Structure formats: structure tokens, C-alpha cells
Structure 1
């Protein structure tokens, strides 16, 4: 079997997402509190997160539109302070821009960029993610032939839609693709269910959850990915 495509998850596969999100949400909240009178009286940061969750439950169409959901949360909250529609929209636009900047200001895991450089010299790479980081701002977009996310496709992993879209974009069959990701369910089990081979990025060296299909390959450091994939390909070719 010749490998013709590699798909990659982003959040928590190439970088640690939780501190990035905390910083981005705090910066966004601080900005709108400073520019929208009464906002802090209505919502704490945790309260704003809860309001966002409530909106997602009320409007299922927004559940995979994370940028739009965050913008809509900010817009509606600003209107609750007494802002008119135009002012609320302008505030939400500016506050979301602060969030988006911080969301894509991040530090790659050790070995991540070297791994991308080496993989991209041998195989086309497609990013498949539930998140909304801007790869141009991160500085790694040039390694990927495409960047697909749940917002543009309309469904988040573990649904198979992102994998199907990547296969269609590259015009390859599922058995000709390897997916690399960190999440046992959303990445490995879901990709396996879609017919792809899988590589589990297990940086914490956690035990594999027995409820899910086992990965084809596994690494505990990104610096080992290229060697693992290359050796696997050699074995398959013999």
C-alpha cells in the first residue's frame, strides 16, 4: 500500500491548546469590558462562557460554527448592555479580532515544525481540525495543501465529514491516507471508522482506552513521527 496523503489534527497535536484558549478568552473579555460600558456588570468571564454554551444549545446550527458562535455571544451580550444593533456588532467584531489574534499566537510543540517540514517533502498534508486557529498567523500554512475545519465543512470530528472532505480534496482512497492526531475518539477511532490508517500522538504516554479501535502507529514525541511513518511504509512495501 502506497501512502498518498497525511491528514493532521492541530489542537493538542501540534500545540497545547488550553493555555492559548484561556489567554485568548481573557484578552477578548478584557477588551470588551474596557470598551462596552456595563459589560462587566452583566457577565464575568465564566458567565460569558456559560452564555455561549446556552446559545449553542438553543441554536444547533452554531455548534460547529465556533467563530460565529463566539461573535454572536459577544454581539448579544453587548446589546444587553443597551447598545444598539450597529454598535453591538462593531464591538463584537473588534472583540473577536482580539480573540482571533491571541488564538493564533502560540508555541508549537518541540519537533513540530521539523516534523511538518519532513513530512511535507514526501506526502501532501491536509489539516483537519475542529478548531479555528489561523495557520497563516501561526506560520505553518505553507506546509499544507489544504486546511479544513468544522466551521467550513459543517460538522466536527468524530463525525466523518472532515475526513471525507480531505480524501475528496486529494482524490485518494481511505486506505491510502494516514491521519495523525492526539484524541483517541475524535482523531484515532473516528479516522479508523472512516477507513484511514492512524498515528496516535500520545505525548503524555497515556494508556490506550480499550473502548476505541487501536491506532496503527503511536509516538510519544513528534520527533519520532517521520521515522515511524517511514518504517511502516517500508514494511508495507515488502
Structure 2
């Protein structure tokens, strides 16, 4: 398939790097931090209990789903308060979490492909997560990053995709959204009027597309596939 692409909006977690290893390390680092700085909290909320608390806070605060940072801070504040710890420690605990959250291990194809793609078209980071491009060391490849917390809504809300297109200065049909998640990325972008690219890696549960009303414009098993497609479009 051939079509013009004036800009790309790009998911981050599970598109450029796997999030599961990051999530596991975050839990361990936060548990160790609490054991050192607030033992009563570590005793009341060991790793599994802290995970359960986080999941409960997520469920009970759907109005904050577009603001992962605020949900994380709220979880820490509740854990400290309910355990009899010092709630003033929440900021430092969050920094310990956030530092580890931005230690990522890229998929083998991701960095080289990202550089190739960014050399072709402007790339916009569009993630529901709270990764920091500068801390991770890839900010130079992006024209800008649009956070759901800044916009007030998260993917797959059409308004977030459309806001990214408007800021990039291109019509939705000229923008290609790239991501791994069937609903939040691919179907969400397609329904908002953008072109869509599904990065369907080997760890995808079944590799089957579940919808009939929308289809991805492109499907690749790596970012390299997309970079190669863009090169071919330029050559044509």
C-alpha cells in the first residue's frame, strides 16, 4: 500500500521497548525504597499489596486515567498515610519510581529504525504512559511530545490524535499513527481519521486483527519494517 505520510505519531511503551521488565523493576525498586525510608509502609504494603493498592486506585479514579503521574503519586500518598508513614515522603518516593521508570531496554530494531524514520518525517511522541524522552535519551528524534495529562484525554480518544495532528500542522489523513495496541493505538487512530500502523511483535498474544469496521493501513513485526517502507515510498 502506498500513501503520503507528512508526520508520524508514535506510541512508546511496547512499541520502542517492552514495558513488562520496566514495570517489574519499578515494583522492586519502590519496595526497596520504602524498606529504607518508610519501613512501616513497606510492612503494611509489601510488593503484592502495593500492586493491589495501585490497581484499586486506578479503578476508583477513572477521571485520572489520562494522568498516570497523578495516579502514581496518589497511590504513594495513600500507602504512606494508611501505613502511618510520613506523607511528605511521597515526592521522594515518586522520584525513585520515576527514575527507574525511565530506564528502558529498547527492542533490538527500535533505535536505528527510529533514527531512520525521524530523518524522513517529523515524529511526535503520543503515549498514554509517562516516559520522559530526555531522560531516556531520545528526545532529539521527536518534534514534540503530547501528553494525555496536558491534553486532558488519553488514547483511544479521537481528540488526542486530532490535537497532535493540529499541532503538527497536518490533516489527519496525512498523519500515520504507529503503535502496538490494537485499541488504544491502531483502532483509535483509524477511527479518528489518521492512517494507522500496527507494530505486531512476536510477543503479541495472537496476532489476529479483531475488528471489521476498521483495518490497519500497515502491519509490521518491527520498526525496521516501517523504516524500510518509508524509504521505499521516498524512492518511488
Q: When the two structures are superposed, what TM-score results if normalisation uses the length of structure 2?
A: 0.90
Q: Per the alignment, do residues 107 and 37 of structure 1 end up closer, same or farther by CA in structure 2, a change over 3 Å counting? A: closer
Task: Find out whether 1:31 has 2:33 as its counterpart.
Answer: yes
- Tell me what 1:11 maps to: 13
Gaps of 5+ in 2: none
| Distance in 1 of aligned mates of 2:193 and 2:70 | 31
Q: 171, 175, 193: which is aligned to 1:195?
A: 193
Kindly state the Cα deviation for residue 4 of structure 1 after the two structures are TM-superposed: 1.2
| Paired residues of 2:41 and 2:84 also in contact (CA < 8 A) | no
Q: 99, 124, 127: which is aligned to 2:125?
A: 127
Q: 166, 182, 185: which is aligned to 1:184?
A: 182
Kindly state the Cα deviation for residue 232 of structure 1 after the two structures are TM-superposed: 4.9
5 Å-filtered alignment, 1:48-197, equals 48-83=50-85, 87-89=86-88, 91-197=89-195
Kindly state the Cα deviation for residue 234 of structure 1 after the two structures are TM-superposed: 6.5
Kindly state the Cα deviation for residue 201 of structure 1 after the two structures are TM-superposed: 0.8
| Distance in 1 of aligned mates of 2:196 and 2:133 | 23
| Paired residues of 2:220 and 2:226 also in contact (CA < 8 A) | yes
Q: Could you say what secondary structure the match of 2:54 adopts? A: helix
Task: Find out whether 1:228 has 2:215 as its counterpart.
Answer: no
| Distance in 2 of aligned mates of 1:118 and 1:215 | 22
Kindly state the Cα deviation for residue 63 of structure 1 after the two structures are TM-superposed: 2.3
| Paired residues of 2:197 and 2:217 also in contact (CA < 8 A) | yes
Residue deviations 1:8-50 (CA, integer Å, cap 9, x gap): 1000000000111110122012202221131122112221222
Q: Could you say what secondary structure the match of 1:106 adopts? A: coil
| Distance in 2 of aligned mates of 1:2 and 1:35 | 54
| Distance in 1 of aligned mates of 2:78 and 2:42 | 14
Q: 22, 26, 31: which is aligned to 1:20?
A: 22
Q: Could you say what secondary structure the match of 1:180 adopts? A: strand
Residue deviations 1:95-138 (CA, integer Å, cap 9, x gap): 11111111111111112111111111121100100101111111
Kindly state the Cα deviation for residue 233 of structure 1 after the two structures are TM-superposed: 6.3
- Tell me what 2:208 maps to: 208
| Distance in 2 of aligned mates of 1:195 and 1:227 | 24
Return 120-129 or 224-233, whichever deviates more.
224-233
Q: How many residues align?
A: 231
| Distance in 2 of aligned mates of 1:194 and 1:216 | 14
Q: Could you say what secondary structure the match of 1:15 adopts? A: coil
